[in-house]
Amino acid sequence: MPDGLTVLNYNEGFNTKMTDREITEIGNRYRTDVLLAGMQLDFVADVARGAAALNPKIVVLSRRTTIFTA
C-alpha cells in the first residue's frame, strides 16, 4: 500500500496439512500488517494458528461461499 501498510491475502490456505514451521516461514518472508484469512470447511483452529504465527495488526476473516447451480 502507498503508506507502507502490507496486506497478505491468504484465503483458504490455512489447513491441517500446513505445519507451524511453514506458516512461520511465510511470516519471516512477508511482513503482515493486515491478514485476509479465509477458511473453508472447519479449519477454525488452523486459521487461529496462522494469525498467531503471522502476528498481523488486523485480521479480516472470511468464509468461502460456494453456490452450485444446475
The span from the CA of 17 to the CA of 4, in Å, is 32
Task: Give pLDDT tens digits for 13-70.
Answer: 788 888 889 888 988 888 899 998 876 667 788 888 888 888 999 998 876 666 666 5
pLDDT at 41: 67
* Global pTM value: 0.74
Q: Which residues have CB under 8 Å from 15's CB, separation 6+? A: 43, 46
Comparing CA positions, the residue from 35, 45, 42 lying closest to residue 11 is 35
Domain ranges of the chain: 7-63
